[in-house]
Amino acid sequence: MTDRVLMQELTWPEYEARVAAGAPLLVGVGATEQHGPHLPLGTDALLASELLRRAASALGGIVLPTVTYGGKSQPKSGGGETFPGTLSLDAVHLIGTIRDVLRGCVRHGARRIAILNGHLENQWYTTEAIDLALRDARAEGVHDLVVVHLTGEDAISEGLLAEMFPEGFPGFALEHAARIETSMMAHLFPDLLRADRLARDPRAVFPRAERHPHRLMPVPPSGVLSPAQGYDADYGRRLVDEMVQYIIIESRDAFSLGTA
């Protein structure tokens, strides 16, 4: 069944054969984190999983189970760890989890792996895990492992951002649970969007220096860091298209797959 792209739907002989034939393995790293009163706790993981699923066929790739717990939420990019439902890993465990997944993939014979990060705070932990996994591989005599680290922030064109934010783009950190994620959820998972629960908090304003403990940081009570008003399912469709194309183009290039 070459049209199945989810690892969880493959048998081990099917998986083994596809990996032996050079199929790239695609791993999402998400989070379980508050996304305001209008989006579900699984937003980051749901989006990462679905974007990879949509990109998989064009790459002949297999989508692994998504890492659904992320690095600790930070007040200025996710509201912080004080919200009910935000459930995060210590950095050392997230790094270890991603490293273990990569090490397993290498043991399976995979040499082309793409990681899509769906949660801003994961970025440097993912980078560290990739670095350690490459070191593990080299120690075992594997020198042809290629890992591409994909982030949604790199995928979105300036033109689309300018159109979506005529008042000025607040930056990806403050876009938490805001116009971009809400537009994408409205397009991909409309049943999960509580459109009648949009928060009315103004855009968050933070001190320039981080304060600890995090309850000293002025996080809007809703957990939404910029207004989601102005979201649009059609923006969501265009965001998804740009991100899927980015995943395909960057992975093909990194893996030297050509554009067949």
CA atoms within 13 A on the CB side of 239: 26
C-beta closer to Zn ion: residue 43 or 117: 43
- Candidates 17-25, 41-49, 139-147, 229-237: pick the segment binding Zn ion (CB under 5 A): 41-49
Which residues are tagged catalytic? 33, 35, 44, 119, 121, 176, 181
Selected range binding Zn ion among 36-44, 131-139, 156-164, 217-225, rule: CB under 5 A: 36-44
CB of 207 to Zn ion, least distance (A): 23
User: Which is closer to Zn ion, CB of 19 or CB of 46?
Assistant: 46
Asked whether the bond before 213 is cis by omega within 30 degrees of 0, the reply is: yes
- Residue 59's alpha-carbon distances to 23, 240, 254, in angstroms, are 8, 17, 12
Q: How far is the CB of 253 from Zn ion (least distance, A)?
A: 27
Cβ 225 to Zn ion shortest distance, Å: 10
| Shortest Cβ 235–Zn ion spacing (Å) | 16
Of residues 39 and 133, the one with the C-beta less far from Zn ion:
39
Taking the least distance from each CB to Zn ion, the nearer of 77 and 97 is 77
Q: CA 83: distance to chain centroid?
A: 20
Tokens of 185: 């959820």
Member of 27, 32, 44, 219 binding Zn ion (CB under 5 A): 44
Tokens of 25: 């393995």
Of 69 and 255, which CB lies nearer to Zn ion in the complex structure? Answer: 69
By CB under 5 A, what part of segment 187-206 binds Zn ion?
A: none
Which residues lie below 8 Å from residue 11, measured CB to CB, with a gap of 6+?
none
Given the structure tokens 């982030």, which residue do they identify? 151
Please state, in angstroms and rounded to a whole number, the distance separating the CA atoms of residues 137 and 103.
7
Number of neighbouring beta carbons within 10 Å of residue 13: 8
CB of 44 to Zn ion, least distance (A): 4
Query: Are 105 and 113 spatial neighbours (Cβ–Cβ below 8 Å)?
Result: yes
Q: Per-residue x/- marks for Zn ion, 142-161, CB under 5 A?
A: --------------------
DSSP structural state of residue 210: -
Which residues of this protein are in contact with Zn ion, per CB under 5 A? 43-44
